[in-house]
């Protein structure tokens, strides 16, 4: 449970440091308005952390959460991780300064923590080998710790409680708040109060909003022009702020993963009959798409199965995306 200990460590340091920063007057740069005409962004609420939720939801959710890719999207650096081991054995001195790893299936990035709520990104990356071959380091030549890229290019989708007006986050990786929003403590007696409860009937636009805030990887915030939404809270409507291209040209992406995401967003927002939202096919706890097999075949199946009765699969896990730089 190292990840959780770390998250809370960061969080307890936060208010104290914020006071210090304010006293020292160094908060001034960040409190500047983002762009002409943009009013102040809503602030990030004091949401409950994952370890608080899991105190009660240990049995059903806690068990699979340890293995969930969202939880470990950013994790404490393990010296035995092949990516970090490769960095060390290449004699790269920054390897000793790495605090966290990001990704791993297709690309691993190296991060270090400097200021509270911010991470620095090493310009080098690691690509795992295909089918058990050795992986390789890339761009290891022009190496440097980059202070700007993570806060302004990645943080909104790879951390939780990210505030676009300060470019700082509350917790590393993806915590319950990212999908369930600001959970009311009294939901224990009235589950309807929690977003994504089975007892609610939220429309597909709100359901898709929760996932698209991160999975629509070519979107852009109208308010901040950053590549992630401006202080979005799950349960709300994403699309007022976050502009996503669902035109036929956008669907020409070589990634079938991106393609089916854009199709779902397009059909749901057009109110197309039978449009499917992400969670009509996906279950986050446990991580599964088992239920998609029981759906009625239609247009949403063609991209991955071709025309006709679904059976043959024409989908490969080859997600590449320029926003994530891989």
Please report how close the Cβ of residue 24 comes to ligand HEC at its closest, in angstroms.
29
Residue placing its CB nearer to ligand HEC in the complex, 197 or 205? 197
From the list 125, 118, 197, 196, the residue with the least C-alpha distance to 153 is 118
| φ, ψ (nearest 5 deg) of residue 144 | -160, 160
Q: What is the DSSP letter of 122?
A: E
Residue placing its CB nearer to ligand HEC in the complex, 93 or 309? 309
Q: What is the DSSP letter of 163?
A: B
Helix axes 2-24, 50-57, angle to 10 degrees: 150
Residue placing its CB nearer to ligand HEC in the complex, 245 or 280? 280
Residue placing its CB nearer to ligand HEC in the complex, 109 or 116? 109
Residue 164 C-alpha from the chain's centroid? 15
The Cα–Cα gap between 38 and 42 comes to 12
Please report how close the Cβ of residue 16 comes to ligand HEC at its closest, in angstroms.
23
Buried b (16+ CB within 10 A) or exposed e, 72-100: bbbbbbeeebebbebbeeeebebbeebbb
Residue placing its CB nearer to ligand HEC in the complex, 44 or 174? 174
Please report how close the Cβ of residue 137 comes to ligand HEC at its closest, in angstroms.
14
Residue placing its CB nearer to ligand HEC in the complex, 49 or 95? 49
Please report how close the Cβ of residue 43 comes to ligand HEC at its closest, in angstroms.
18
Please report how close the Cβ of residue 295 comes to ligand HEC at its closest, in angstroms.
4
Please report how close the Cβ of residue 127 comes to ligand HEC at its closest, in angstroms.
9
The Cα–Cα gap between 207 and 235 comes to 7
């Amino acid at each position: 449970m190292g990840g959780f200990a770390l998250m809370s460590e960061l969080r307890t340091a936060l208010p104290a440091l914020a006071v210090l920063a304010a006293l020292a007057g160094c908060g001034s740069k960040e409190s500047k308005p983002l762009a002409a005409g943009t009013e102040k962004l809503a602030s990030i609420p004091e949401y409950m952390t994952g370890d608080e939720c899991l105190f009660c939801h240990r049995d059903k959710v806690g068990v699979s959460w340890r293995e969930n890719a969202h939880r470990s999207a950013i994790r404490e650096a393990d010296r035995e991780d092949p990516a970090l081991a490769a960095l060390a054995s290449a004699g790269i001195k920054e390897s000793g300064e790495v605090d966290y790893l990001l990704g791993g299936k297709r690309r691993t990035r190296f991060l270090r923590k400097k200021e509270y709520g911010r991470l620095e990104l090493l310009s080098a990356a690691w690509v795992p080998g295909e089918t058990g071959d050795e992986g390789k380091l890339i761009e290891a030549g022009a190496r440097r710790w980059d202070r700007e890229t993570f806060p302004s290019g990645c943080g909104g989708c790879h951390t939780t409680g990210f505030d676009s007006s300060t470019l700082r986050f509350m917790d590393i990786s993806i915590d319950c708040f990212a999908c369930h929003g600001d959970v009311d403590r009294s939901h224990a007696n009235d589950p309807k109060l929690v977003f994504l409860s089975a007892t609610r009937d939220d429309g597909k636009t709100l359901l898709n909003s929760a996932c698209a805030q991160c999975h629509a990887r070519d979107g852009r915030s109208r308010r901040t022009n950053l590549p992630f939404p401006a202080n979005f809270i799950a349960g709300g409507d994403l699309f007022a702020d976050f502009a996503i291209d669902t035109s036929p040209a956008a669907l020409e992406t070589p990634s079938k993963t991106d393609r089916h995401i854009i199709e779902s967003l397009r059909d749901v927002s057009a109110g197309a009959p039978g449009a499917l939202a992400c969670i009509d096919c996906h279950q986050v706890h446990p991580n599964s798409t088992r239920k998609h097999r029981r759906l009625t075949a239609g247009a949403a199946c063609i991209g991955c199965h071709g025309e006709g009765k679904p059976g043959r699969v024409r989908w490969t896990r080859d997600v590449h995306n320029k926003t994530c730089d891989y």
